[in-house]
């Protein structure tokens, strides 16, 4: 057969994942001559041989596990008669178009090196290879070469250089490759700055709190079984009741505390290594302290994902609290100097190192809801992976700044959209600074310079002001419309679709605070088809910290006089002054905002039941309401299991029937106003009041409330002729596992197909993608 010559191009995540060594080995195996290199557009191959079609097919089918090929093409070229196959130097080119890999958890082979006394990477806290280690957090610019990462200042020793240059070695061109002789070093310091031996294992064992520099920033760490250490950390960090994440030594140890199914285990062990929110086991004899996740039946579990994490587990503990190191409401701390200064009132010791972090990046947080992975926070391990849009094309490079809460921005050009890592809430100057810093550096990584901007139409948001100051075309986007379109974009759907958007707040077209919305539309526009009835929110967004006040305002507005008088017993926790102010506000309308928010509805029920009356973190009242409902559901399942195992004669038929029916639906009303369906909840609250007065438990009422809202959502969708669907569910309220799974169950029974977020959080972390798609139709 005659020799052929072809140039092969691969674009996608093909740098920093062992792609060139893979090409080299396959070429050797098949007798192919030529070369392979990294370029600013991915990987380029010049191949000469007699079976190039098979070579091309195998490159596609057998690519390294971390590689993600987006586009591939093969073009015939001139035969140069190469006699070898080589990996050649990267070529600098303008208009870089290469995808960067997210950071990757330590692989099994590197872990084996760390425990092998004969290996020069034995117990080295920064060991890595082409299959694992830092990527996005250390890159300054593309292409992904060592000189353009924060490893540039670490000159390789002879042994590391030999591995780096050897295409048959798994550390070939692993940009962060290093060892104890030439790589980064760790230091343990006390609050006075004095150097201490070790890495803090003894200090953790004795109840100390460590600030540990990780892949994307600092964590605050303590022994999770040490009640005093956990309590001290919570008090010093002023964290209120917000739950801590827990790092478990292994999946097996984690299984002692939480329920782990196959999908959750796959997530925990994945290369992204996110935090996974899991249900705590009932009837534990040695459970972790309640103070780790107060009032919650779940724990956020994460496995060690860096060599340093694995070394920390040399101590006599199986669980470590591992929480982001930042002061309340401020950005994640990621530099040594800031950590030593800002965290000295929280941490007892500092475990720092001299490999700089260029892109600060929190841990991602996930939960399995309805058998699908849902992002509660998308960051390390997933960013900067793109969303690929086959049926859309972004003509003008765009920026969408996202929401004010749980912010992530989005850049897009062509058929790729890149959503940034979670950046937190945008209140305060420091947070805006971090947003601007990441926006500037993210543009280099994804090679997109925006020419127009989309932003939330709320006039008082900090990012609205930022967007308006930029010298380019800009478009305000309604909050819930963006939520709808975000999911449609993920599913690559352009047809008008009915969506249920339930969240805390978003400014509506009528200047009320929306949040329980049935919208029909797509990126071109929308119609509001139905919503929760408007109810008074004293203090507006600031009032959300006081669920009992919200409950007072709602019941005062909704209940008939006779029913209202029966609620007197529920307001004992309100001072006389609070009640007087509330009464005056409701009479005059001063600082009272009309809202249809689902989040505030859940807050009101939580406050009324006494589940949560003062909020110390965003969403707390609704989260704790779901928790008491989940505990009730868990107990019902537990009782059911016990009853089926024991002699059923212990229960009469009447008792069995009562237990089956005791969590039925509350009443609600659907009416029509101005051609829109309105969900009325006066009867619902009146029934809840009656249950409270009868002594029905918090858990049963909360459970029935969730069931009722789930049924009401599907009922309204059916009235709007959703029929077989699809029906979009989006917004932060659908991070509520109990509610969402009940809706999914009813939809399945009704034959309704449901579309939910797949790659982005349902909350405001996915908002920017929807803003961008809407702007793309206008700008």
Question: Which tens digit of pLDDT belongs to each residue from 310-369?
Answer: 999 999 999 999 999 998 889 999 999 999 999 999 999 999 999 999 999 999 999 999
- What would the pLDDT profile of 245-275 be if each residue is shown by its tens digit? 999 999 999 999 999 999 999 999 999 999 9
Helix pair 767-778, 479-490: axis angle to 10 deg: 90
- What would the pLDDT profile of 162-217 be if each residue is shown by its tens digit? 999 998 899 988 999 999 999 999 999 999 999 999 999 999 999 999 999 999 99
At residue 771 the predicted structure's pLDDT band, cuts being 50, 70 and 90, is: very high
- What would the pLDDT profile of 756-766 be if each residue is shown by its tens digit? 999 999 999 99
pLDDT recorded at residue 428: 86
Residue 285 has pLDDT above 80, yes or no: no
Are the beta carbons of 207 and 228 closer than 8 angstroms?
yes
Listed in sequence order, the DSSP H helices in 475-565 are 479-490, 547-558, 561-565
For residues 735-754, average pLDDT: 97
Are the beta carbons of 734 and 756 closer than 8 angstroms?
yes
User: Average pLDDT over the chain, rounded to whole?
Assistant: 93
Residue 646 has pLDDT above 60, yes or no: no
Residue 660 has pLDDT above 50, yes or no: no
- What would the pLDDT profile of 401-459 be if each residue is shown by its tens digit? 999 999 999 999 999 999 999 999 998 899 999 999 999 999 999 999 999 999 999 99
Residue 62 has pLDDT above 60, yes or no: yes
Residue 767 has pLDDT above 70, yes or no: yes
pLDDT recorded at residue 634: 81
Residue 506 to residues 327, 401, 453, 482, 764: CA-CA distances in angstroms?
26, 15, 19, 10, 10
At residue 540 the predicted structure's pLDDT band, cuts being 50, 70 and 90, is: confident
Tell me how far apart the alpha carbons of residues 681 and 666 are, in angstroms, rounded to a whole number.
9
Are the beta carbons of 536 and 554 closer than 8 angstroms?
yes
pLDDT recorded at residue 525: 97
At residue 639 the predicted structure's pLDDT band, cuts being 50, 70 and 90, is: low
For residues 557-583, average pLDDT: 96
Are the beta carbons of 517 and 662 closer than 8 angstroms?
no
pLDDT recorded at residue 244: 97
Residue 648 has pLDDT above 90, yes or no: no
Q: Residue 8: beta bridge partners? A: 45, 74
């Amino acid at each position: 057969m005659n020799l052929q010559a072809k140039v092969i191009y691969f674009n996608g995540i093909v740098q920093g994942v062992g792609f060139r060594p893979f090409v080299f080995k396959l070429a050797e195996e098949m007798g192919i001559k030529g070369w392979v290199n990294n370029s600013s557009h991915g990987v380029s191959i010049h191949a000469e041989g007699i079976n190039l079609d098979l070579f091309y097919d195998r490159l596609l089918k057998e690519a390294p596990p971390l590689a993600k090929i987006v586009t591939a093409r093969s073009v015939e070229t001139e035969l140069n008669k190469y006699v070898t196959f080589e990996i050649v130097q990267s070529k600098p080119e303008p208009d870089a178009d290469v995808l960067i890999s997210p950071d990757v958890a330590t692989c099994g082979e590197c872990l084996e090196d760390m425990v092998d006394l004969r290996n020069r990477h034995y117990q080295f806290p920064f060991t890595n290879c082409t299959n694992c280690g830092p990527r996005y957090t250390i890159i300054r610019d593309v292409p992904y070469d060592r000189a353009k990462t924060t490893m540039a200042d670490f000159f390789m020793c002879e042994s590391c250089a030999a591995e780096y240059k050897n295409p048959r070695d798994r550390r070939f061109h692993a940009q962060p490759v290093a060892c104890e002789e030439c790589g980064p070093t760790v230091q343990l310091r006390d609050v006075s700055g004095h150097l201490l031996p070790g890495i803090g294992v003894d200090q953790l064992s004795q109840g100390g709190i460590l600030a540990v520099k990780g892949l994307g920033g600092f964590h605050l760490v303590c022994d999770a079984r040490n009640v005093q250490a956990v309590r001290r950390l919570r008090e010093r960090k002023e964290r209120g009741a917000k739950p801590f994440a827990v790092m478990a030594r292994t999946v097996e140890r984690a299984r002692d505390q939480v329920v782990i199914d196959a999908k959750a285990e796959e997530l925990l062990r994945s290369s992204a290594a996110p935090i996974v929110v899991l249900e705590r086991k009932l009837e534990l004899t040695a459970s972790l302290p309640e103070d780790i996740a107060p009032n919650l039946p779940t724990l956020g579990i994460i496995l060690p994902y860096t060599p340093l994490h694995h070394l920390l587990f040399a101590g006599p503990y199986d669980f470590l609290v591992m929480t982001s190191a930042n002061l309340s409401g401020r950005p994640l701390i990621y530099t040594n100097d800031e950590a030593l200064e800002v965290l000295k009132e929280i941490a007892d010791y500092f475990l720092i190192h001299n490999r700089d972090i260029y892109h600060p990046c929190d841990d991602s947080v996930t939960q399995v809801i309805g058998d699908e992975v849902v992002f509660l926070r998308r960051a390390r391990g997933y960013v900067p992976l793109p969303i690929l849009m086959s049926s859309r094309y972004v003509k003008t490079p765009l920026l969408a700044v996202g929401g004010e809460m749980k912010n992530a921005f989005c850049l897009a050009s062509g058929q790729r959209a890149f959503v940034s890592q979670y950046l937190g809430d945008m209140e305060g100057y420091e947070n805006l600074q971090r947003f601007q810093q990441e926006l500037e550096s993210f543009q280099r990584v994804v090679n997109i310079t925006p020419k127009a901007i989309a932003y939330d139409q709320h006039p008082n948001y900090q990012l609205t002001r930022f967007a308006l100051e930029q010298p380019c075309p800009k478009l305000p986007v309604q909050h819930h419309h963006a939520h709808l379109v975000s999911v449609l974009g993920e599913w690559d759907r352009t047809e008008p679709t009915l969506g249920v958007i339930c969240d805390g707040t978003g400014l509506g077209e009528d200047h009320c605070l929306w949040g329980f919305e049935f919208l029909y539309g797509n990126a071109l526009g929308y119609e509001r088809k139905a919503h929760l009835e408007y109810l008074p929110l004293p203090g507006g967004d600031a009032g959300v910290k006081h669920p009992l006040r919200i409950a007072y305002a709602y019941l005062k507005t909704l209940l008939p006089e006779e029913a209202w008088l029966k609620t007197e017993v529920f307001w004992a926790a309100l001072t006389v002054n609070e009640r007087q102010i509330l009464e005056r506000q409701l009479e005059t309308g001063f600082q009272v905002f009309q809202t249809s928010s689902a989040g505030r509805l859940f807050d009101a029920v939580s406050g009324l039941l006494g589940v949560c009356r003062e909020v110390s973190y965003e969403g707390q009242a609704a989260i704790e309401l779901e928790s008491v409902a989940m505990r009730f559901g868990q107990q019902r399942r537990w009782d059911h299991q016990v009853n089926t195992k024991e002699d059923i004669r212990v229960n009469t038929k009447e008792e069995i029937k009562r237990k089956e029916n005791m969590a039925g639906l509350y009443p609600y009303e659907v009416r029509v106003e101005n051609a829109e369906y309105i969900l009325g909840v006066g009867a619902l609250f009146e029934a809840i009041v009656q249950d409270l007065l009868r002594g029905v438990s918090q858990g049963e009422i909360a459970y029935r409330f969730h069931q009722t809202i789930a049924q009401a959502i599907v009922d309204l969708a059916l009235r709007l002729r959703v029929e077989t669907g699809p029906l979009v569910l989006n917004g932060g309220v659908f991070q509520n596992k109990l509610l969402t799974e009940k809706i999914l169950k009813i939809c399945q029974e009704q034959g309704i197909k449901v579309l939910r977020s797949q790659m982005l959080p349902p909350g405001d972390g996915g908002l920017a993608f929807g803003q961008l798609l809407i702007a793309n139709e206008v700008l």
